[in-house]
Amino acid sequence: MNNYLRTVSVVTALLVTVFTSTTSVLAKAEKTEDELIQEFSNPKGSVVAKAMMDVEKNFPHSAKATPLIKAALTDPRPEVRRKAARVLGVWHEEVSAQDIKNICAMLKAAEPAEVMDALKSLGGLRAKSAVPEILPCLKATHPNVVRDACRALAQIGDKSVIPAIEPLTSSSDKAIKKDAEEAIFKLK
């Protein structure tokens, strides 16, 4: 029994040491706002997108980062454009008509994920001027694009968009049907 207690004590001490050192390493790994912003100029799009995500979470509405994030809406790398749009939408940031136009351009992307991020952004930005650009997404072939279009229209549309959404309430896709019904309910 004495050996058992010694073993448990040693294992416990080791676990505490590992946990403490891991926590301190993780705490030191957090980057400053300026360090993250500096990563916006990295040639790797994945690094830029990750830096934007970290700014979004750790430095919301960063006055330093916001102009750079807005500029990234026209970046040639889709993952950078997508993350820039999403950050602005999550922050409900005040944007220009040109920024809205840049995000609406993403609605014509071949990649459904880019279209979905643009729709989520436009909804978060409450970009009522984008409603005409969103309506064609209700006829997309990708079901999640259709669903996100319903959600975006529910956030920024008005009763005039209900007739465009109504046919989706008969969809064989239960998720599309549900989102269409919820959008109509919110718009009434």
Q: How confident is the model at residue 18 (pLDDT cuts 50, 70, 90)?
A: very low
Reduced DSSP (H G I as helix, E B as strand, rest coil) percent helix, strand, coil of the chain, to 5 = 80, 0, 20
Radius of gyration of the chain (CA): 23
Q: Which pLDDT score, from 0 to 100, does residue 25 have?
A: 42
For the ranges 18-27, 61-70, 103-112, 124-133, the lowest mean pLDDT is seen at: 18-27
Q: How confident is the model at residue 117 (pLDDT cuts 50, 70, 90)?
A: very high
Whether residue 16 has pLDDT greater than 90: no
Segment 111-126 mean pLDDT: 97
181 contacts: CB under 8 Å, gap ≥ 6 = 169
Q: What is the percent of the chain where pLDDT is above 90? A: 84
Q: Which pLDDT score, from 0 to 100, does residue 17 have?
A: 54
